[in-house]
Amino acid sequence: MQVSWGAPDQIRTETCSYCDAPIDDESVPLIIWRADGWVGEFCEECQRQWWGMQSFRVVLAAHEPEDEPEPQALPACMRHPGKLCPGECQYLLSAGECIHDAGPA
C-alpha cells in the first residue's frame, strides 16, 4: 500500500491516507505534513500498527459544584473611592486608619 497524500489546497479527508478506513468525529487522526505542503491523515488503527501509538477514550464528567461558597464581594472603601477593602480595613470598622493609607492612594 502507498500513502494517499492530500494536496496542499485540498479540504481535509474523512478517510485514512493509508488504509482508507473512515475517520470518525470521535477519533484523533495523526496528521503529517510534508515540507511541500502535502498532507496525510492516519486512523487510530494505522497509528497503532505502524507507529506503536495508542489512543485512550476518556469520558469527562460534567463538573457540578457542590457546596462551594459563593464569592463574597469586598466592600468599597469609604475613604478611597474606586478601591475595595478587605475585612481588616480599620477605616470601615472604626473610622481609623485605612489599609490603603499605607500604599499609594
Which residue range(s) make up the domain with 22? 1-55
Are 33 and 80 part of one and the same domain?
no
Task: Decide which of 1 and 32 is more confident.
Answer: 32
> What distance in Å separates the CA atoms of residue 24 and residue 22, rounded to the nearest whole number?
6
Does residue 89 register a pLDDT over 80?
no
Is 64 within a domain?
Answer: no
pTM of the predicted model as reported, rounded to 2 decimal places: 0.52
How far is CA 38 from each of CA 16, 19, 33, 78, rounded to the nearest angstrom? 14, 17, 6, 65
Is 67 within a domain?
Answer: no
Does residue 34 register a pLDDT over 50?
yes
Is 89 within a domain?
Answer: yes
Residue range 67-87: mean pLDDT, rounded? 64
Is 37 within a domain?
Answer: yes
Are 42 and 4 part of one and the same domain?
yes
